[in-house]
Amino acid sequence: MLSNYGSTVASVYSRRLGSQMSNPGLPRLETRLRSNITGDVFFDAFNRGRYATDASFYQIMPAGVVVPRSTGEALRALAICRDEGRKVTPRGGGTSQCGQTVNDGIVIDLSKHLNRVVSLDVENRSCVVEPGIVLDDLNRQLKQHGLWFPVDVSTASRATIGGMAGNNSCGGRSLRYGTMRDNTLSMDAALADGTMLHFGEVPRDLAQVNSSDGGLELFRDMLALGEREAAEIAEKFPKVQRRVGGYNLDALVPRNAPNNMAHLLVGSEGTLAFTTQVELKLWPVIRNKVLGVCHFGSFYEAMDAAQHLVKLRPIAVELVDRTMLSLGREIAMFQPIIGTAVRGDPDAVLIVEFAEEDQAENLSRLKRLGELMADLGFGWDQRKRKWGGVVEIIEPSLQTAIAEFRAAGLNVMMSMKQEGKPVSFVEDCAVPLPHLADYTERLNGIFAKHGTSGTMYAHASEGCLHVRPVLNLKLEKDVKAMRAIAEETFAMVREYKGSHSGEHGDGIVRSEFHEAMFGPRIIADFAEVKQRFDPEGVLNPGKIVDPPAMDDRSLFRYSPDYRVGELKTALDWSAYPGAGGGFQGAVEMCNNNGACRKLEGGVMCPSYRVTRNEKDVTRGRANTLRLAISGQLGPDALASDDMMDTLKLCVSCKACRHECPTGVDMAKMKIEVLAARAKKHGLSLRDRLVGYLPRYAALASRLAPLANWRNNSSLLRRLFEKVTGISAQRALPEWRRDVFRSDAEAIGPAQGREVVLFADTFNRAYERENLDAALRVLVEGGYRVHIPKPADGGRAICCGRTFLSAGLVDHARTELDRLVMTYAPFALRGVPIVGLEPSCLLTLRDELLSLRSDDVAKSISAHALLLEEFLVREAEAGRLQLPLGPVADKALVHGHCHQKSFGAFKPVEQVLRLVPDLDVETIESSCCGMAGAFGYGADTYQASIDMAELSLLPAVRRADAATLIVADGTSCRHQIKDGAKRGALHVARVLAMSLDRARLNPTPSPVAKEPIHG
Ligand SMILES: Cc1cc2nc3c(=O)[nH]c(=O)nc-3n(C[C@H](O)[C@H](O)[C@H](O)COP(=O)(O)OP(=O)(O)OC[C@H]3O[C@@H](n4cnc5c(N)ncnc54)[C@H](O)[C@@H]3O)c2cc1C
Ligand code: SF4
Ligand code: SF4
C-alpha cells in the first residue's frame, strides 16, 4: 500500500496553494457566493485542484469554483465576483488544449446544470441552447428531426456548445460546414459589468436594433473599429479557413450583408462576455456517403495531392500516416479493416469522404477521384515514386470501422507510458494547401533538429494537420526545445501566410505569438476590444490579450518544484515510470482529454453519468491523485476523508482501463488508496463484512436460517444499517445450506479434454445452480471437468476479490497464492481454467499479475477463461458438441463491466446465438450500479439505483415476460431483481435449459448451427 506519500513535498506546494488560501478577501467571497447560490460552491483544495487543469500542460489553482444551477445563479456569481474584485473563467467540458480554462480567479462550471435545448425550429433549421450542453447530447436530441449540428469536434462526447463557441471550434468536415463561427446565428451574453446583450446580426447603422443604450454604444464602437481597421485586417489576417486565433475583427468590417456581432464573441475564449444562450444553425443529417482511401508511396506526395483532391468537393480529406497504420496493424480488432481498406505498404493514405444527398452523385465523384489520381500520375503499377491509387469503401459498416480505427490509432499514440509524451502546442497550425507538402517536410526537419519526432494526422483538406512532438516537460531542456520548436514552426507558418492557431484556439500557448502573426496594430486593436468589453479585466484575463509567456514553467502542471516523494505501493506498477514503482507514471497518464465525461456509449464512467460532478469522473479522480502524491493537497492526502470521498462513487468497473484513451486504470489505483486508508485508519465494520466474506461463508451457510434473519425483519434491517452501514433497502443475498460442493476430483468422460471449473465464492455459496449448470454443459460437451480441492487442504479456493475491494491486499495475495498453488499443475500442462463470475475469474487475468509476476501466475492468468470464451474457442476449433434446443424467442443480455473491459462480452452473445431460434439483444448499458458491495452501502444506495436506471432497468422493464433476461454477474442479477423485479439467468443456465429442451425434443441439433460470428 501507499505510504509516506506527499508529506515530504507538501511544504513545497503550500506556497502555491497557500497564497490563495491566506487571501483575506476569500472568506467573504465564499460566504456571499454560498448565500446566493444553491449550486455547488467550492473553496477547498481538493475541488479547486480538480479545476486547475484542462487538456493543456498548464495548471493554475483557481481561488474557488461555482457550479450554478441556473443562468440567474451564474450571473449572480459573476456579479459577486466582480464586486469582490475577482476574475471569472467560464468553463464547459474543460477540454481546451491551450490553457484557456485555467486561471486563478473563480471558475464557473456550466456543464452540470446549464445544458438544455431552449427551443428548436425544425422548419428553419435552428435551435437555441444553453452553453453547457454537450455536442453529442444535442445531436442525439436533433436526430429524431433529421437534423444535426455539424461542427463535429473529436471531443463531441464532452465538448459543450459554450466551450466550442469560446474556442471557435472546428470539426473534421469544416470544408463543407465551416467552423463554429459559421454556424452561430446569435448569442445572449452578459458583459463583465452584468449588462445582458443579444449579439446577432445588425445593420451597420444599427437602425432598429433592440438593445440597451450601452449595448448600442458598444456595437457602434466595434463596427467603427472594424471600419477603421478594415485595410489592416485585410492585410494581416491569414486567408485560411482555419484561422481561429485572436478576436474575429474581420466580422466587424463593412460588407454587403449585416454584420453578426456574435461572431466577435466566437473564439474570444471567455474573455469578452459570459455566454448564457447560443442560437445555432442546423443541417440535415448525412444519409449517404462513400469513402475513397487514396494511397501514396511517399508522405510528401500525399500532402502535395491534397490541394487537387479537394477540387472534387469532398466533405473531408483525412490523413493517416505510416506510423498510425502500423500501430493499427498491431491491434487485432483493426487488422481486418486495414487488410480491407489498405493495399500494399503506403507511406500515407488520405481518406476522402463524399456525402451528397444523392448516392449516385457520391459514386460518380468516387469514380472521378480514381481518375484524378491517375491524372496526377499515381498508379498501382508504379514503382516507389507515384505508386498509389484508390480503394473504394461503399459499405457503411466498413466506413464506421475506418472511423473507429482512426480514433483508436490516435489513442494508441497517446497511450505512451514513458516520461516523454506527445505534447500539444504546434498541433493545429493551418497553411494554404499548395504549401502543405513543403510545410510538413520542413516541420519534420524542425522536430529532428530538436531531437524529437511526431506523427501527423487529421485534416489534410484544411491544411490543418495534428502533430505532437514527444517531449518531457518536466525537463528544462525539453521546455527549451518546445519553445524553439514553437518559434521556428510559427515563423514558418507565417512565411506560408498560414495561421498558428487553426483549431484549438489561443489560451496561454499561442496568445503571445499573435503579435508576430497579426502585427502590433492589430494587437492594439485586440487590447482595445478587451478594454471596451471588460475594462476591469474580470473575464478570463491573460488569454488572447496580455498573455504570460507560453513557457513560464510556474504555470505548468509539472512546474519546476513538482516532486513526488517516496511511495510504497502494494501492486505492481512497473509498466510505468516514476515513484511508487511506477504508480506516479500511471497516475500521470491522465492528460485531461475528458473522454471519461461522455454521457452515452460504452461504460466509462458510470458515476459521472449519474452525478455529473468533476469529482466523480475518472479525470477528476486522476487529477486528485496526482495532486495528492505530489503533496499539493497537504500531508497524508491519499488516506484522507476527502480522497475517500473522491473515490467513493468509483464502482471499480474497470471501464476506464479499457475506454480511456491513455488507459488510466482507476479501479486498480483505488485498491492502492483503499490499502493506504486501511493501514492508517483500519476497516469499517462494513468493509470487514465484505472483505472477509470468503472466510466466513462456510459458517454462514451452515447457519443459513439465522444468517438470513436480517432480510426478513424491517426492524433488523434498520438496525443492521445503523451498525454496519448496509442499506436497509437492500436484501442481502440469501445464505443456503446446500452450497455447491464436489467430492469428485474430476467429472465427465475419462478421455474427454480436460478443463478446470473455478467454483467462485458467490456462485458456490448463493447460486449453486449456475455451477451445476456449467458442470452439466461441460460434461455433456464431452469434457473432463476438474474441480480441484485446495492444495493446502483448507477452505474453498477464492480469487481474493472481496479483500481487494476492502484494501486488504495482503489477504488477497494469500488467497491468490492458494489459488495458484491449487491450479498450477493444471495450468502448467495447458488445461483451461474456466469461471462463471466475471469479476472473480478476470481477477486472474488482471490483479493476479499485479501481485505475482512469476511464471506460474502468468500461466494461470493465460489459461483463465470465462465459460463463454472457452465455449467459443472450442466451437471455433470444431470441438464443441452440444445438443441444444430452443428455450425462448428472445434473450435480453446485460454485460458485466469487467467482461466489457477485457473484451470478454462478445463471446457471451456468440454463445447465446448457438441456442436455436433465440433472438439475442444486448442492452446498451453501463455499469449495473451494484458493483460488488457498492450497491449495498446506505450512503451509495441511491447512486447505485441511479446508475441502474440510466438504461438497464428501463430496458428490463420493457421486456415482455417471455423474454429471458441474461446477466453473468451475481451483482447484476441482484440489481435487476431488486430494481425491475425480474429474475436474470447466467448463460450457463440458459445453455442447461437448452440441453433439457433438446432432450425433450430429440431432433438432433448439433452445436454450432452456423459458424460462430460476431
Ligand atoms: C483529444 C482532443 C481532441 C480535440 N479535437 C478537437 C477538434 O476536433 N476540433 C476542435 O475544434 N477542438 C478540438 N479539441 C479542443 C477542445 O475539445 C474544443 O475546443 C472544445 O470545443 C472545447 O469545449 P469545452 O466544452 O471543453 O470548452 P472549455 O475547454 O471548457 O472552454 C473553452 C473556452 O470557452 C470558454 N467558455 C466556455 N463556456 C463559456 C461561456 N458560457 N461563456 C463564455 N466563454 C465560455 C472558456 O472560458 C474557454 O476559454 C480537442 C481537444 C482534445 C483534448
Ligand atoms: S482519465 Fe482518461 S479519459 Fe479521462 S481525462 Fe484522463 S486521460 Fe482522458
Ligand atoms: S473504474 Fe469505473 S467508476 Fe471508477 S473511474 Fe473508472 S470508469 Fe469510473
3-state secondary structure of 592: coil
Q: Residue 355's pLDDT band (boundaries 50, 70, 90)? A: very high
Q: What is the pLDDT of residues 225-248, one digit of tens each?
A: 999 999 999 999 999 888 999 999
Q: Residue 551's pLDDT band (boundaries 50, 70, 90)? A: very high
**Shortest CA distance to 788 belongs to which of 750, 749, 748, 833?**
833
What is residue 238's predicted lDDT score, i.e. its pLDDT? Answer: 94
At a CB cut-off of 8 Å and minimum separation 6, what does 166 contact? 90, 92, 100, 267, 268, 269, 270, 275, 505
Q: Residue 23's pLDDT band (boundaries 50, 70, 90)? A: low
Q: Report residue 161 as a C-alpha cell.
A: 456548445
What is residue 14's predicted lDDT score, i.e. its pLDDT? Answer: 41
Check pocket membership of 297 for ligand 1, CB cut-off 6 A: no
d(CA 505, ligand 1 centre) in Å: 8
Q: What is the pLDDT of residues 64-75, one digit of tens each?
A: 999 999 999 999
| Averaged pLDDT, 151-160 | 95
Q: What is the pLDDT of residues 651-681, one digit of tens each?
A: 999 999 989 988 999 999 999 999 999 999 9
d(CA 476, ligand 2 centre) in Å: 26
Check pocket membership of 265 for ligand 3, CB cut-off 6 A: no
Q: What is the pLDDT of residues 922-952, one digit of tens each?
A: 999 999 999 989 999 999 999 999 999 999 9
Q: Report residue 436 as a C-alpha cell.
A: 502543405
Cα–Cα distance for residue pair 623/620, rounded to 1 Å: 5
Check pocket membership of 605 for ligand 3, CB cut-off 6 A: yes
What is residue 20's predicted lDDT score, i.e. its pLDDT? Answer: 43
pLDDT over threshold 60, residue 11: no
Find out whether 718 and 728 touch, Cβ atoms under 8 Å.
yes
Q: Which of the pair, 550 or 326, is modelled with greater confidence?
A: 550
Atom of ligand 3 nearest to the CA of 621: 5
Measured between alpha carbons, how far apart are the two ends of the chain, in Å?
41
What is residue 327's predicted lDDT score, i.e. its pLDDT? Answer: 80
* Parallel, antiparallel or unpaired: strands 88-91 and 106-109: parallel
pLDDT over threshold 70, residue 408: no
What is residue 62's predicted lDDT score, i.e. its pLDDT? Answer: 98
CB neighbourhood size of 981 (10 A): 10
What is residue 143's predicted lDDT score, i.e. its pLDDT? Answer: 97
pLDDT over threshold 70, residue 825: yes
Q: Spell out the alpha helix ranges (H) of 42-104.
A: 45-50, 71-83
pLDDT over threshold 60, residue 275: yes
| Averaged pLDDT, 960-977 | 97
Check pocket membership of 310 for ligand 2, CB cut-off 6 A: no
What is residue 676's predicted lDDT score, i.e. its pLDDT? Answer: 94
d(CA 591, ligand 2 centre) in Å: 6
d(CA 1002, ligand 2 centre) in Å: 53
The helix-helix angle for 520-533 and 213-228 (nearest 10°) equals 180
Check pocket membership of 2 for ligand 3, CB cut-off 6 A: no
Measured by CA distance, the residue closest to atom 4 of ligand 3 is 650
* Parallel, antiparallel or unpaired: strands 890-894 and 864-866: unpaired
| Averaged pLDDT, 568-593 | 95
| Amino acid symbol at 25 | G
Q: Report residue 871 as a C-alpha cell.
A: 465455449
Q: What is the dihedral of CA 225, 226, 231, 232, to 10 degrees?
A: 60
| Averaged pLDDT, 867-892 | 96
What is residue 137's predicted lDDT score, i.e. its pLDDT? Answer: 98
What is residue 407's predicted lDDT score, i.e. its pLDDT? Answer: 67
Q: Is 85 exposed, middle or buried (0-12, 13-18, 19+ CB in 10 A)?
A: exposed
**Would you say the C-alpha torsion 807, 809, 811, 816 has a positive or negative sign?**
positive
pLDDT over threshold 70, residue 6: no
Phi, psi of 749 (to 5 degrees): -55, 135
pLDDT over threshold 80, residue 29: yes
pTM summary value: 0.94
Q: How many CA atoms lie within 13 A of 290 on its CB side?
A: 22
What is residue 146's predicted lDDT score, i.e. its pLDDT? Answer: 98
Cα-based distances in Å from 193 to 187, 535, 537? 17, 9, 11
What is residue 5's predicted lDDT score, i.e. its pLDDT? Answer: 40
Measured by CA distance, the residue closest to atom 41 of ligand 1 is 275
What is residue 9's predicted lDDT score, i.e. its pLDDT? Answer: 41
Atom of ligand 3 nearest to the CA of 649: 3
Q: Residue 22's pLDDT band (boundaries 50, 70, 90)? A: low
Check pocket membership of 110 for ligand 1, CB cut-off 6 A: yes
Check pocket membership of 666 for ligand 2, CB cut-off 6 A: no
d(CA 946, ligand 2 centre) in Å: 23
Check pocket membership of 648 for ligand 3, CB cut-off 6 A: no
| Averaged pLDDT, 779-802 | 96
Q: Report residue 945 as a C-alpha cell.
A: 439505483
What is residue 356's predicted lDDT score, i.e. its pLDDT? Answer: 96
**Shortest CA distance to 639 belongs to which of 614, 607, 672, 664?**
672
pLDDT over threshold 60, residue 3: no
pLDDT over threshold 50, residue 1013: no
What is residue 26's predicted lDDT score, i.e. its pLDDT? Answer: 87
Check pocket membership of 606 for ligand 3, CB cut-off 6 A: yes
Cα–Cα distance for residue pair 961/591, rounded to 1 Å: 46
Average pLDDT, the chain: 94
pLDDT over threshold 80, residue 753: yes
What is residue 1003's predicted lDDT score, i.e. its pLDDT? Answer: 60
| Amino acid symbol at 744 | A
Q: What is the pLDDT of residues 37-55, one digit of tens each?
A: 999 999 999 999 999 999 9
Atom of ligand 1 nearest to the CA of 169: 11
Measured by CA distance, the residue closest to atom 3 of ligand 3 is 650
Q: What is the pLDDT of residues 158-199, one digit of tens each?
A: 999 999 999 999 998 999 999 999 999 999 999 999 999 999
Mutate to test the pocket of ligand 3, among 653, 839, 899, 950 (most ligand atoms within 8 A of CB): 653
* pLDDT cut 90: percent of the chain above it: 88
Measured by CA distance, the residue closest to atom 6 of ligand 2 is 590
Atom of ligand 1 nearest to the CA of 414: 1
Check pocket membership of 618 for ligand 2, CB cut-off 6 A: yes
d(CA 98, ligand 1 centre) in Å: 10
pLDDT over threshold 90, residue 140: yes
| Averaged pLDDT, 750-773 | 97
Q: What is the pLDDT of residues 294-309, one digit of tens each?
A: 999 999 999 999 999 9
Mutate to test the pocket of ligand 3, among 607, 664, 847 (most ligand atoms within 8 A of CB): 607
What is residue 1010's predicted lDDT score, i.e. its pLDDT? Answer: 44
**Shortest CA distance to 354 belongs to which of 176, 122, 524?**
176
